[in-house]
């Protein structure tokens, strides 16, 4: 991403723990202006209201857009390097913080944004409720999360179908991907990333004290609108 920011077209690779290796094609999207966002996110971002927490902000495409619309935005990303890029690009309040470090100190928000497949940061059925409660703790009743995901079940690729089956056999949600990013000789640690169907998003949200009100977008890639119940 840093190399992309500098104008190079670096290719890094996403490796899944079944050995699948594919080019990471998200770099252009990370820097895209509103008109090139996925349609579901373009529509959903209009629902943002009040102070916004942008989780997994990357280089700040969403934070910059919402700042420009007058919102007070706190953007977080677990990578200090990425946070520096976002700051350089003009994100005013950007902090190196992972979702599992979010706590009452950082503010009180009406809207939480998790774009760019951001629902994936909830990691797994096991990890999600705790993380969702962390978000509840920095929001008021009636607050919303706008989170995008990819319905990975809309595939006929046997490699993916075998991966889903393997996850099911292990008691995981089928779309719980164990991934790492590789670039030249570097590799991130393995991490879990959760892709869900709309029904699964409702189930995961519910277990964490949020309710899936509706989804935006017709295709595989969609945004869920989650609202917080009365109890934090």
Element (H, E) at 128: helix 128-136
Binding residues among 108-167 for its own copies as defined by CB under 8 A = 159
Q: Could you tell me the smallest distance in angstroms from the CB atom of residue 21 to its own copies? A: 5
User: Per-residue string for binding with its own copies, 187-226, x by CB under 8 A?
Assistant: x---------------------------------------
* Residue 230 in contact with its own copies, rule: CB under 8 A: no
Token pair in block for residue 151: 């319905």
For 55, 60, 165, 188, 221, the CA distances from 116, given in Å and listed in that order, are 10, 11, 25, 19, 10
* Residue 18 in contact with its own copies, rule: CB under 8 A: yes
Q: Could you tell me the smallest distance in angstroms from the CB atom of residue 212 to its own copies? A: 32
CA 80-85-86 angle, 5° bins: 95
Per rule CB under 8 A, count of chain residues that contact its own copies:
15
Single residue of 3, 8, 23, 68 touching its own copies by CB under 8 A:
23
Which residue lies nearer to its own copies by CB, 9 or 230?
Answer: 9
Q: What is the DSSP string of 36-102?
A: GS-HHHHHHGGG--SSEEEET-TT-HHHHHHHHTT--EEEEES-HHHHHHHHHTT-SSEEE--GGG-
* Residue 11 in contact with its own copies, rule: CB under 8 A: yes
Token pair in block for residue 68: 């420009």
* Residue 185 in contact with its own copies, rule: CB under 8 A: yes
Handedness of CA 25, 27, 29, 32 (dihedral sign): negative
Q: Could you tell me the smallest distance in angstroms from the CB atom of residue 161 to its own copies? A: 12
Which residue lies nearer to its own copies by CB, 15 or 41?
Answer: 15
* Residue 34 in contact with its own copies, rule: CB under 8 A: no
Site of tokens 């913080």: 97
| Number of residues that this document lists for the chain | 232
Q: Which residues bind its own copies (CB under 8 A)?
A: 11, 13, 18-23, 159, 182-187
């Amino acid at each position: 991403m840093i190399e992309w920011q500098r104008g190079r077209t670096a290719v890094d690779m996403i490796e899944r723990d079944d050995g699948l290796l594919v080019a990471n094609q998200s770099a252009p999207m990370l820097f895209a202006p509103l008109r090139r966002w996925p349609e579901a996110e373009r529509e959903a971002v209009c629902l943002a209201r009040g102070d916004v927490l942008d989780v997994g902000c990357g280089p700040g495409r969403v934070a910059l857009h919402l700042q420009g619309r007058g919102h007070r935005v706190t953007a977080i990303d677990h990578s200090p390097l990425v946070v520096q890029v976002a700051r350089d690009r003009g994100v005013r309040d950007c902090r190196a913080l992972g979702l599992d470090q979010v706590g009452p100190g950082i503010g009180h928000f009406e809207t939480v944004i998790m774009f760019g497949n951001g629902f994936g940061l909830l990691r797994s059925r096991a990890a999600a409720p705790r993380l969702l409660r962390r978000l509840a703790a920095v929001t008021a009743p009636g607050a919303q999360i706008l989170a995008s995901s990819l319905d990975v079940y809309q595939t006929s690729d046997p490699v993916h179908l075998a991966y889903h089956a393997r996850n099911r056999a292990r008691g995981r949600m089928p779309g719980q991907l164990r991934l790492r990013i590789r670039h030249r000789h570097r590799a991130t640690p393995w991490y879990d990333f959760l892709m869900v169907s709309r029904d699964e998003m409702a189930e995961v949200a519910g277990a964490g004290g949020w309710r899936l009100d509706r989804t935006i977008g017709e295709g595989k890639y969609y945004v869920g609108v989650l609202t917080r119940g009365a109890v934090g």
